[in-house]
């Protein structure tokens, strides 16, 4: 357990105890524990701000001009809850929400000349707000930016902060914040960027695989490669590279198993799951330069069972991919034959006779089973 240390409040001079962990957390932010309660802290900080913003002006805006507290907060740079406390401290009765609506209705009825006059007043009032801003330097890009005290307090008092670490303003924008977090995680995990690039470009490893090696997520690796202007491979290209490395895949459908058994009985050499270009084909007969595809009746929408108008989204997508494969074969002057699931299951003799016939034909481009 952390030891308790006794301190004296600089406002009310009462003695209070605070844990060593709290002191260390404040010191990491370059601050010290000076107040015994929020009341003392709020009073001291508010008095510092009010030195640059007239309380009488605040009361005049609220009482005479019927301005809401949110409007005064924008001008002064103080959060609206602090405005309410200041007004109550000075004996001002706070209006209800329904009473504030009358001011909003009045604003909607203003003429253009009145709006211009109001804008001139706001410019004068906003001069006070500029002096309240606090200067920061972005840790990532080094640009100078400013934040109001209310914005700083909302970040410091964020309830979602991690245990033992108070949030602080580091970067000027969200993109800089994301890049800064990535850079800090690279330092924490001792990631060698050149090694990551080598694994991706030379070894053709995918981002998830590199992430497991390094100890981060695959999405982190993708962003890291983008920042270093490395062109990312498409998902299909990455899949093709993986299949080339791992070799032929196991058969995953019953019709492919039946067709493989038929090819063995005919003593025909074949390669399963053949990678050609950006596509993978079920079988390839190297002695005849012939590709074979086994099309499921449901997924590829056999016209015997499904009409074009009845296809769902998945079937349309699979049919479209099949057409792209056909076009790719024609462009590269190769041969392709397709057999339906219905023919492989119910008419295997037809499939056998077609394969025997096609292995003797040299001018075939695209052929589909039928009958």
Ranges 167-171, 207-211, 280-284, most confident: 280-284
Do 254 and 168 fall within a single domain?
A: no
Dig out the tokens for 139 from the structure.
Answer: 């840790």
Do 117 and 138 fall within a single domain?
A: no
Average pLDDT rounded to a whole number, residues 86-105: 74
pLDDT in tens, 14-62: 888 888 777 777 777 667 777 787 767 766 555 655 555 677 878 888 8
Q: Which residues pair with 366 in a beta bridge?
A: 336
Kindly state whether residue 92 falls inside one of the protein's structural domains.
Answer: yes
166 pLDDT band (50/70/90 cuts)? Answer: very low
Do 91 and 146 fall within a single domain?
A: no
Q: Looking at per-residue confidence, does 98 or 137 come out higher?
A: 137
**Among the ranges given (81-90, 219-228, 327-336), the one the predictor scored with the smallest mean pLDDT:** 81-90
Predicted structure pTM score: 0.41
User: Of 174, 202, 235, which residue constitutes the final position of a domain?
Assistant: 174
Rg of the Cα trace of the chain?
Answer: 36
Domain at 281, CATH number: 3.40.960.10
Do 319 and 274 fall within a single domain?
A: yes
Range of the domain at 339: 247-368
Kindly state whether residue 357 falls inside one of the protein's structural domains.
Answer: yes
Average pLDDT rounded to a whole number, residues 359-364: 57
Kindly state whether residue 238 falls inside one of the protein's structural domains.
Answer: no
Calculate ∠ Cα 248-249-253, nearest 5°: 135
Do 140 and 49 fall within a single domain?
A: no
294 pLDDT band (50/70/90 cuts)? Answer: very high
Q: How many domains does the chain have?
A: 3
Average pLDDT, the chain: 77
- The answer to whether residue 251 scores a pLDDT higher than 70 is no
Q: Looking at per-residue confidence, does 68 or 344 come out higher?
A: 344
Q: Residue ranges of the alpha helices (H) in 90-233?
A: 97-108, 112-130, 149-156, 174-188, 193-201, 207-214, 218-227
Give the integer Cα–Cα distance in Å for 168 and 165.
9
pLDDT in tens, 115-147: 677 767 766 665 555 455 677 888 888 888 877
Do 262 and 160 fall within a single domain?
A: no
- The answer to whether residue 252 scores a pLDDT higher than 80 is no
Do 271 and 327 fall within a single domain?
A: yes
pLDDT in tens, 298-319: 989 898 888 888 889 888 999 9
């Amino acid at each position: 357990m952390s030891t308790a240390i006794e301190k004296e409040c600089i406002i009310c001079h009462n003695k209070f105890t605070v844990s060593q962990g709290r002191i260390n957390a404040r010191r990491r932010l370059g601050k010290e524990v000076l107040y015994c309660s929020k009341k003392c802290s709020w009073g001291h900080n508010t008095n510092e701000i009010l030195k640059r913003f007239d309380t009488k002006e605040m009361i005049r805006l609220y009482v005479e001009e019927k301005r809401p507290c949110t409007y005064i907060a924008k001008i002064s740079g103080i959060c609206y809850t602090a405005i309410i406390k200041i007004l109550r401290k000075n004996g001002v009765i706070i209006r209800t929400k329904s009473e504030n609506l009358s001011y909003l209705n009045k604003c909607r009825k203003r003429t253009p000349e009145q709006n211009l006059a109001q804008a001139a007043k706001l410019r004068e009032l906003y001069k006070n707000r500029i002096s309240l801003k606090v200067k920061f330097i972005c840790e990532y890009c080094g640009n100078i930016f400013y934040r109001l005290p209310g914005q700083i307090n909302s970040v410091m008092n964020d309830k979602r902060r991690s245990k033992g670490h108070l949030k602080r303003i580091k970067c000027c924008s969200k993109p800089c914040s994301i890049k800064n977090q990535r850079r800090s995680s690279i330092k924490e995990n001792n990631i060698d960027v050149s090694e990551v690039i080598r694994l991706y470009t030379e070894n053709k490893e995918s981002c998830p695989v590199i992430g497991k090696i390094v100890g981060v997520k695959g999405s982190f690796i993708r962003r890291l490669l983008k920042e270093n202007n490395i062109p990312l491979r498409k998902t299909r290209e990455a899949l093709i590279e993986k299949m080339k490395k791992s070799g032929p895949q196991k058969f995953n459908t019953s019709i492919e198993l039946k067709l493989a058994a038929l090819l063995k009985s005919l003593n025909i050499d074949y390669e399963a799951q053949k990678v050609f270009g950006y596509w993978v084909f079920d079988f390839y007969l190297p002695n005849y330069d012939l590709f074979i595809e086994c099309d499921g009746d449901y997924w590829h929408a056999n016209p015997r069972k499904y009409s074009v108008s009845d296809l769902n989204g998945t079937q349309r997508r699979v049919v479209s991919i099949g057409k792209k494969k056909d076009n790719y074969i024609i462009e590269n002057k190769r041969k392709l034959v397709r057999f339906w699931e219905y023919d492989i299951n119910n008419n295997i003799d037809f499939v056998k006779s077609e394969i025997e016939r096609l292995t003797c034909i040299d001018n075939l481009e695209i052929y589909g089973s039928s009958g």
